Structure 1
């Protein structure tokens, strides 16, 4: 390795590097870089605005709730939108400039001390602050290590409060590279609707492991994968579908649970009829699922679990669902005819109806 003495500094308590001022305890934004940006007038073109947003985004780990601030400015950077600095966008621009001047100094992380993660989720975005308590001037002082924020996707905007908080917790923990999550980085990321399945309670996985011991195929697979066994007699003892998937290298063992790999997903393998029926019911018949169609119900199951006849059983469940058959076009009345609504016999019954408006006038009986 070669070192250029002109680019080296020795004996300094702090240094300027890559737009930051770095010291032994903390690092912050280079105020000279910030001053150069603040001296510039309000952007008059998309190129100038993108240059400003690029600099501010480079320093986003110093800015709390950064993603929410430039939300309106990013919209006019699109080629399809006309560049126009409205009062709302000018206010957003001024807020970012103020945030740059008031950016916090960040502590240098100490990996031997526990971290504190503060999260906040709302309809505008997800935000988090990674803090740590360190000894500064012989006093325990809590300060930020970095700030994390991002906008939510259109599909995530429909999440409930608990799902949104869980999404924020999982996403920010992975982004901050918390040591507790480091061992999981080499493993496949199994998710259900954006929520990491590794965060589900251990009782569920313990139940799956117990069912593996009772099923012949899963018991053999566990022995083959865990011990890297090459015994062909054990492989031939598997059922045909299980054998083909094993020979194709689709099975993976993690923490005693077998996962089935495909091109775009890696989901847990099930053998218990009780758990299989519960999963199909939750993805189709439960109130939260909203009676998904014949095409979407298997798609939901596909992203959650695998067993040899998962698609066939899911479609059969759909065709035997009484509620779906009553509301199905092929079994109902012709389109345009009104259907009498069956009166509920008890509270909290689901009622299907179509709202009809703008009926033609019929004299006094309109």
Structure 2
């Protein structure tokens, strides 16, 4: 038995030789004179059969050549793949990592808290004595009690008299009108002021408005504004009016309507803004700012001069020295 191999070139050349050895086709010309017509017909039939057989052989040979060419292409492609693999096999292989089962987890030890660092003891500076803890506690308690009493009386530690007066000017100032949107509704931190505290506020507001330092003149202003403070707010810097004709507009965060009168001398926000004095806060509840704006308004609206002209008439209007009071 002949061994089967992949010499596709030999198959192709053999097929070509077989095709070339086939008999040629008759030329189809009529036979010459003296030839038996039956012989001519027989030869013609033979030629036709030969032609058909040759065509089948040639068709089969063509198919065999195509099949052989396909097998050859497949073999070449396979050979190239083998060569590529052979070339890549020279690359160093990655070391394999052995897979091991995870070790059982041991219970985490309970952390031991680190000891707190010890602070080096420092001797007290010379001249200082150690205070008995009991005495220190008594001093702190007494200080807290004093602060509570002061707060109830409207006194803030570190300030003399009115808590708000320290933030206001102590010299003559010019008017400083505000836009209404700039008026602050921040409330006064203390309660109602005493007559002495109100006197300090009035005196500071008179200086801001340029009233001369004439004791008699200032005594009149003091009497007027003490009377007005009692009639308008009862001496409460955080007073607000929720019922008169000015109490209109939206409810504001301070619990009063937008146009409500506010403060010790009951200015409405638009009046406070228009007659605001420089050197004072923008809070309508600030006693000094409220007094200064109120005085500026009175001088302009009722023709009262800083020197006292028109002051007597306005005091009479307000019912100073009587039990009556009229708003302004």
**TM-score band, normalised by the shorter chain?**
under 0.3
Question: Relative contact order: is structure 1 or structure 2 higher (C-alpha 8 Å, sep ≥ 6)?
Answer: 2
Q: Write 1 or 2 for the structure with the bigger share of strand.
A: 1
Q: Write 1 or 2 for the structure with the bigger share of helix.
A: 2
Q: TM-score, normalised by structure 1?
A: 0.21
